[in-house]
Chain A
């Protein structure tokens, strides 16, 4: 237990200190941390899923609070919660089937139940599953109780009914944990391989003699372009340097090293050059449920320029970047203003910041945001590990990964405190 606790503290500190760079690394580390939280979590016989969910939520709340701007943390926490719910559901349905069938055969064990196409439990299972889905007509009609209560009541009901089955219970709880950890492992693997999965689709989008423009640096974009080049497509890449971090230089260096035709331009030349570009391909920081993109600063300008010249604006995003939230005032609330020293030399302008003379109020205010918000109307296509999608479809895609109960993760947790 203290071990996990210290791991959590360590990761929280890292997030607070902004020492984790990139949403992929953050997502991966979050998933690994949550996996150890789950594996260390001792769960009782009753309401195992609830206990796991509470544990993950408690940790998740700390992580999200540590860096609310890094949406990947919240995404992964929600993904894990969703996994727990899903696994629990599949077990519960199986267990319910078992309960219903127990009248018939007592020594049915869980593993078998899974394999049974359980007819008698079908209605319950469907009802339970429906809680994971957006409300449907059926759920409205059936007036389901609180979803978290479903596994609870059902399992406690089972408990009171037959105490002799406790051994079976513990095996089920172990199974739940085991399944969840398996699923989280899969999630980690997904995060690890998202580049490849996205890059596989490159050849469908990039053609011979095309000109691609990108801004800043993104590992996904690099792999994507490289994959297209591997498939013997020859094309040219314009890389805008991406002030104030100038990651574009890094990308250009990588691309050149991998043998792609690369042109480095300043950010200011994006508008001038875009009329010669066939496609803009960029990475994202996070994709919101409305299809809007939280992207490295400058991309809104690029997207506007692309729209004016009817150049497709393609955003590459691994599924860990899909965020189930809808943005409100994202430029301010989902942004992080970094140090002015990236723009101005402190020593050079120190005399302008002498508050001893003059009115005493600072005359220079340097604004250095990290992210831009690109509204969905400017995005032509999202390419995720599952394929290409329209911005208008994102909400649905996102619903596959998250359960509706977890959307308000933070607020619920805050209220409970």
Chain B
């Protein structure tokens, strides 16, 4: 096991790296480092052996924390590149070419894509808007900072929920930028939605039936916004699109630490379950993601432009072909 991969894996496990993009970038950089240190063993071909090696890294990472769909896409891309390596290349040339590919992927598909998304989405923010976001999405955060730089006058509502309370750190960062923020919890979303003019949400992945797979609670926010006729905009890089389809959130999900549900951090007065221990008839369920049905979504902002959720399969098709020619 390469040390860079090992380190990233442990960081996943400890929860030091969170967020789809950050995790994906960390993984790719670790792979790139591993490839740089890689030497083909005797009597083996680089293509096969490296693919196997990457495979073993991936299974290690999965053990640390299940991969997100976007990471799956990135791995597929990498394996594809390895497989497509011309046999004529020497080992060092092949390694350089792979590392370049990885860098390009990070740059084009994530960093530049974010910039494009931010530019597209900021055209949808007008003066006097009240924007609602849920949890903490790095693209949305970039968008808000960008819009602030453009001198737009708007107000942000941050909706947060247990157990991660990611919104608090977002709140802290936005307030440090001088943005005017309202903070509330998910249950109060119906109360606050009256004041909101637009909802901006991030996504972990967008599935080809238009379903948005994202931090648990996103679906509820989108649903309430829909009920109050507030447009819901999803900001998501195209590399996170996937051809899988899913109708509900149960079939495919990630389970968090159940104890995080029982313990309410920062609230000493809420400790009813502490004494309960492990009773057979008590289960604690900590879902990490949920699937937002496409009808709640007004628009998806991607690096390819702004599309309705019905166009996702088109992007997936184009993107897959694109990925081959990258």
A335 to chain B, nearest CB (A): 7
Asked if A305 meets B223 with Cβ closer than 8 Å, knowing A267-B161, A335-B191, the reply is yes
Verify A243–B187 contact, CB threshold 8 A: yes
Partner of A266, one of B163, B279, B281: B163
Could you list 22 A-B pairs, sorted by A, with CB under 8 Å?
A243-B161, A243-B162, A243-B187, A249-B262, A249-B264, A249-B273, A252-B272, A253-B276, A256-B279, A256-B282, A262-B281, A262-B282, A263-B283, A264-B284, A266-B286, A268-B161, A269-B287, A301-B190, A352-B172, A367-B183, A368-B185, A368-B188
Tell me the chain A residues, 233-247 only, with Cβ under 8 Å from chain B. 241-246
Q: In the assembled complex, which residues on chain B have CB atoms less than 8 Å from the CB atom of A352?
A: 171-172, 175-176
Verify B217–A268 contact, CB threshold 8 A: yes
Tell me the chain A residues, 76-102 only, with Cβ under 8 Å from chain B. none
Q: What are the 3 closest A-B residue pairs judged by CB atoms, nearest first?
A: A268-B217, A298-B187, A272-B249
CA A175 to CA B325, docked complex, whole Å:
95
Asked if A266 meets B282 with Cβ closer than 8 Å, knowing A242-B187, A300-B190, the reply is no
Q: In the assembled complex, which residues on chain B have CB atoms less than 8 Å from the CB atom of A331?
A: 190-191, 194
CA A160 to CA B194, docked complex, whole Å:
61
Asked if A243 meets B183 with Cβ closer than 8 Å, knowing A249-B262, A264-B285, the reply is no
Verify A369–B285 contact, CB threshold 8 A: no
A260 part of interface (Cβ distance < 8 Å): yes
Partner of B191, one of A273, A304, A363, A367: A367
Q: In the assembled complex, which residues on chain B have CB atoms less than 8 Å from the CB atom of A297?
A: 187-188, 191
Q: In the assembled complex, which residues on chain A have CB atoms less than 8 Å from the CB atom of B172?
A: 349, 352
CA A265 to CA B288, docked complex, whole Å:
11
B323 part of interface (Cβ distance < 8 Å): no
B85 part of interface (Cβ distance < 8 Å): no
Task: Count residues on chain B whose CB falls below 8 Å from chain A CBs.
Answer: 58
CA A267 to CA B250, docked complex, whole Å:
15
CA A372 to CA B162, docked complex, whole Å:
19
CA A331 to CA B189, docked complex, whole Å:
11
Verify B285–A269 contact, CB threshold 8 A: yes
Interface of B is mostly: mixed
**B 157-189 binary contact with A (CB < 8 Å = 1; else 0):** 000111100001001100110111111111111
Asked if A273 meets B181 with Cβ closer than 8 Å, knowing A297-B188, A372-B190, the reply is no
Verify B216–A272 contact, CB threshold 8 A: yes
CA A348 to CA B228, docked complex, whole Å:
33
A118 to chain B, nearest CB (A): 55
Q: In the assembled complex, which residues on chain B have CB atoms less than 8 Å from the CB atom of A359?
A: 178
**B 89-105 binary contact with A (CB < 8 Å = 1; else 0):** 00000000000000000
Partner of A272, one of B187, B194, B250, B261: B250
A396 to chain B, nearest CB (A): 28
CA A204 to CA B161, docked complex, whole Å:
35
Partner of A273, one of B179, B250, B272: B250
Q: In the assembled complex, which residues on chain A have CB atoms less than 8 Å from the CB atom of B162?
A: 241, 243, 266-268
Verify A363–B175 contact, CB threshold 8 A: yes
A270 part of interface (Cβ distance < 8 Å): yes
| B161 to A, closest residue via Cβ | A268
Asked if A265 meets B281 with Cβ closer than 8 Å, knowing A243-B161, A249-B272, A275-B248, the reply is no
Verify B286–A271 contact, CB threshold 8 A: no
B271 to chain A, nearest CB (A): 8
CA A256 to CA B266, docked complex, whole Å:
25
Verify A372–B191 contact, CB threshold 8 A: yes
Asked if A263 meets B284 with Cβ closer than 8 Å, knowing A268-B162, A275-B248, A363-B181, the reply is yes
A155 to chain B, nearest CB (A): 51
**B 276-303 binary contact with A (CB < 8 Å = 1; else 0):** 1001011111110111010000000000
Q: In the assembled complex, which residues on chain B have CB atoms less than 8 Å from the CB atom of A244?
A: 185, 187
**A 294-314 binary contact with B (CB < 8 Å = 1; else 0):** 000110110011001000000
CA A271 to CA B266, docked complex, whole Å:
25
Tell me the chain A residues, 278-296 only, with Cβ under 8 Å from chain B. none
A129 to chain B, nearest CB (A): 42
Verify A368–B264 contact, CB threshold 8 A: no
Partner of B179, one of A263, A361, A363: A363
B267 part of interface (Cβ distance < 8 Å): yes
Tell me the chain B residues, 114-162 only, with Cβ under 8 Å from chain A. 160-162
A112 part of interface (Cβ distance < 8 Å): no
CA A153 to CA B285, docked complex, whole Å:
67
